[in-house]
Amino acid sequence: MSRTKVALLGAGFIADIHVESYHRFVPDAEIVAVFTRKADRAEAFAKKNYIDRWFSDLDQAIAESGCDVVDVCLPNFLHHRTVLTAARAGKHVIIEKPIALNLEEADEMIAACRGANRKLMYAEELCFAPKYERVRKLVNEGAVGKIFQMRQCEKHSGPHSDWFYDVDQSGGGALMDMGCHGIAWFRWMLGGQPKTLSVYAHMQGGLIHQGRTRGEVNSICIVEFESGAIGVAENSWAKQGGMDDRVEVYGDGGVVYADLFLGNSALTYSDKGYGYAMEKAGSTKGWTFTIFEEAFNQGYPQELKHFIECVREDKQPLVTGEDGRAVLEIMNAAYHSARTGQKVRLPFQSKVKRPIELWLG
């Protein structure tokens, strides 16, 4: 059986991680093409990564690459258009977070893929991160009893690319960029599709990115589920010292703490510094927490491998467009809450183009 052909759409930070993941861990997939808007960057990316074809036109990349699958690693505002095009062209789709800028877009994307009988996987890697999956399994074994509180933090000093700071392109700041992980993970831990009752959020703008973005730079959300459990998502673009991704699970019979970066790292002291410690770590002089197998530990290879299997074996992905939509709905409610100072009940309908409008007004 031949390998599944993937067109990689995007050539930024996350595309690099996907390439590494396919090459090292997903032998059944083959990246046949890459797209990015600048032709020379597309070519350079392709050559560096042994990809045969490159495109600077999105429609062509989808139509002419001969791909079975598109892997969407593009800025948020391009998600909707890309998925619609891909579905029409009969491609399966895996899409990076967040699913779209608004719920209407998400609904259309889901409908388009369903109508074309194509798979739409929402690429939430935390549902595949092996340490967190270990946590989930022991929770499912009853190790900590019934969950009453979870916490997930995802914090660093700000994204790689400028488009994130432009809320017209991104739809929001730190919550939109990173809070989607925590919210998706809470749902995952509670069985996949728990009923969400409400969300409360507090947001702070400016901070170290004053003048650079109108988006929230630091946020905290409390998501309340039908079981009574709450999930506390803390997200920041203002946290110095490298990436922080950690979880806490409190049950009536125990607790679990897990941490993907500091908690997996080698502890290094270097007088002179060295090449790389972890995502956004900054200087490597003095003490650093040196992470290894960064992509694997975050679940990217496992997630992509799962999707390729779903395509090849015609299975339903474990995390779907509907999950992406549910996360987006909760984020919408969170922005509204940050504006009103009130807990917002779900379901939450909203017609805004971009979630952050619900906060900024």
Q: Least distance in Å: CB of 49 to its own copies?
A: 20
Q: Of the two residues 78 and 217, which places its CB atom closer to its own copies in the complex? A: 217
Q: Least distance in Å: CB of 77 to its own copies?
A: 28
Q: Least distance in Å: CB of 207 to its own copies?
A: 6
Q: For residues 212 and 158, give the distance between their C-alpha atoms in angstroms, rounded to a whole number.
A: 11
Which residues have CB under 8 Å from 301's CB, separation 6+? 21, 22, 24, 25, 26, 295
Which two tokens mark 301?
């290879």
Q: Least distance in Å: CB of 35 to its own copies?
A: 28
Q: Least distance in Å: CB of 206 to its own copies?
A: 8
* Dihedral sign for Cα atoms in the order 342, 346, 350, 355: positive
Q: For residues 24 and 69, give the distance between their C-alpha atoms in angstroms, rounded to a whole number.
A: 18
Q: Of the two residues 46 and 291, which places its CB atom closer to its own copies in the complex? A: 291
Cβ-count burial of 267 within 10 angstroms (0-12 exposed, 13-18 middle, 19+ buried)?
Answer: exposed
Q: Of the two residues 46 and 201, which places its CB atom closer to its own copies in the complex? A: 201
Q: Of the two residues 10 and 241, which places its CB atom closer to its own copies in the complex? A: 241
Residue 320 in 3-state DSSP?
Answer: strand
Q: For residues 92 and 37, give the distance between their C-alpha atoms in angstroms, rounded to a whole number.
A: 22
Q: Least distance in Å: CB of 134 to its own copies?
A: 4
Q: Of the two residues 231 and 355, which places its CB atom closer to its own copies in the complex? A: 231
Q: Of the two residues 44 and 238, which places its CB atom closer to its own copies in the complex? A: 238
Q: For residues 42 and 45, give the distance between their C-alpha atoms in angstroms, rounded to a whole number.
A: 5
